[in-house]
């Protein structure tokens, strides 16, 4: 029988005795998502562009020496120059300050409208998906009825009821049916997750349905909700711009990018800059949100996590 002892053997490959060391630090899901988002140059450029646009909407009107409502009848329809950087309109008002004031309204409608639809859609879709059965059938039929109503009719009705066309009527009209898409998306996710082990454990511990939906199911769909929001904000901005363009949105003396495009379109043959600047602002904002949404969709996909 062979004589086996440790002197006859030699350990190789572990000279530094570092086999138990963690080569790469452990990171959370959100840290990994941020790391992957930073690797997406297009998404990061879009994020920087959006931050710059929002900053200019906040401080832009204070940079210009002219107020957005100030009229100078001696300087009508001036081309961009050293005093009026984006020129003036037919009332001699500074287009630079008006552009950023209008951006406040357009972006505010996009963000506020999206937040409202996220809250309503998450609660409605979460309840529908969790209970299923007859409750789900009734709630989804209500969604289908709302989806069948053209939002243009809703805008007109709301304007007639409120007696004015403005930011409040636009938000009400756009949010009445806007949350249905979010509700459907959350419902589908909740129906997939409600049979998970952590949901069954919460039910076994006596948690009520409200706590399960709000603390367990909806937080586990937050990644998809964030991506949905980045695509929904430009949708609200475009809807506001379209309604203001046809005269059903923001009314003078207030302004928005859509209202500025509406006026600029009527004089574009003679003063194209009055249409160019607000149209460029809408295009860049919507493009940046959509490209950022694409980047977030890839970064928040758990299947791509490394």
Residue 88 and residue 98 in contact, taking contact as beta carbons nearer than 8 Å: no
Q: pLDDT tens string for the chain (306 positions)? A: 566 777 777 766 555 555 555 556 677 777 888 888 889 999 999 999 999 999 999 998 888 888 888 888 888 888 888 888 998 888 888 899 999 999 998 899 999 999 999 999 999 998 998 888 899 999 999 999 888 888 778 877 887 777 666 788 888 888 888 888 889 999 988 888 888 888 888 888 888 888 888 888 888 888 888 888 888 899 889 888 888 888 777 877 788 898 899 888 888 888 899 999 999 999 999 999 999 988 888 888 765 555
Segments making up each domain of the chain, as ranges: 41-64+88-304
Write the CB contacts of 105 (distance below 8 Å, at least 6 apart in sequence): 167, 240, 250, 254, 255, 256, 257
Please give the span between the terminal C-alpha atoms of the chain, in angstroms, as a whole number.
50
User: How distant, in Å, are the alpha carbons of 83, 134, 137 from that of 217?
Assistant: 56, 20, 20
DSSP one-letter code for 84: S
Phi, psi for residue 45 in degrees, rounded to 5? -65, -40
Tokens 């495009």 locate to 261
Nearest to 151 by CA among 179, 177, 184, 181: 177
Burial class from Cβ neighbours inside 10 Å (0-12, 13-18, 19+) for residue 269 reads exposed
- The residues facing 88 across adjacent strands are 94
* Cα–Cα dist 124/26, whole Å: 36
What's the CA gap between 282 and 279, in Å, rounded? 5
The neighbour count for residue 100, using CB atoms within 10 Å, is 23
E strand or H helix at 120? helix 95-131
DSSP classification of residue 88: B
Chain-centre distance for alpha carbon 135: 30
Coil, strand or helix at 277:
helix
Q: How far apart, in whole angstroms, are the C-alpha atoms of residue 299 and residue 294? A: 9
Give me the pLDDT at residue 16, please. 57
Contacts with 164 (C-beta within 8 Å, 6 or more apart), sequence order? 251
CATH topology of domain 41-64+88-304: MetI-like fold (1.10.3720)
Query: How far is it, in rounded angstroms, from Cα 76 to Cα 99?
Result: 17
């Amino acid at each position: 029988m062979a004589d086996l002892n440790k002197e006859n053997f030699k350990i190789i490959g572990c000279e530094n005795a570092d086999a138990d060391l963690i080569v790469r630090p452990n990171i959370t899901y959100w840290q990994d998502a941020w790391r992957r988002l930073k690797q997406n140059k297009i998404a990061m450029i879009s994020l920087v562009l959006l931050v710059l646009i929002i900053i200019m909407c906040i401080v832009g009107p204070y940079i210009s020496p002219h107020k957005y409502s100030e009229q100078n009848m001696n300087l009508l329809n001036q081309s961009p120059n050293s005093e009026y950087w984006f020129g003036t309109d037919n009332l001699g008002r500074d287009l630079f300050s008006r552009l950023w004031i209008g951006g406040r309204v357009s972006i505010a409608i996009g963000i506020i409208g999206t937040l409202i639809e996220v809250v309503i859609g998450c609660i409605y879709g979460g309840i529908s998906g969790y209970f299923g059965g007859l409750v789900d059938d009734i709630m989804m039929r209500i969604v289908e009825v709302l989806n069948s109503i053209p939002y243009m009719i809703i805008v007109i009705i709301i304007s007639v009821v409120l007696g004015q066309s403005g930011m409040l009527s636009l938000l009400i009209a756009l949010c009445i049916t806007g949350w249905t898409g979010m509700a459907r998306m959350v419902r589908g996710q909740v129906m997939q997750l409600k049979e998970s082990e952590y949901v069954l454990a919460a039910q076994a511990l006596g948690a009520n349905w409200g706590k399960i939906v709000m603390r367990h199911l909806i937080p586990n769909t937050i990644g998809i909700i964030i991506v949905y929001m980045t695509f929904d904000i430009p949708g609200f901005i475009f809807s506001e711009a379209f309604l203001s363009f046809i005269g059903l949105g923001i009314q003078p003396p207030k302004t928005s990018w859509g209202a500025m495009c509406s006026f600029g379109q009527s004089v574009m043959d003679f003063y194209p800059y009055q249409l160019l600047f607000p149209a460029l602002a809408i295009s860049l904002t919507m493009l940046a949100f959509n490209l950022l949404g694409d980047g977030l969709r890839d970064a928040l996909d758990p299947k791509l996590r490394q």
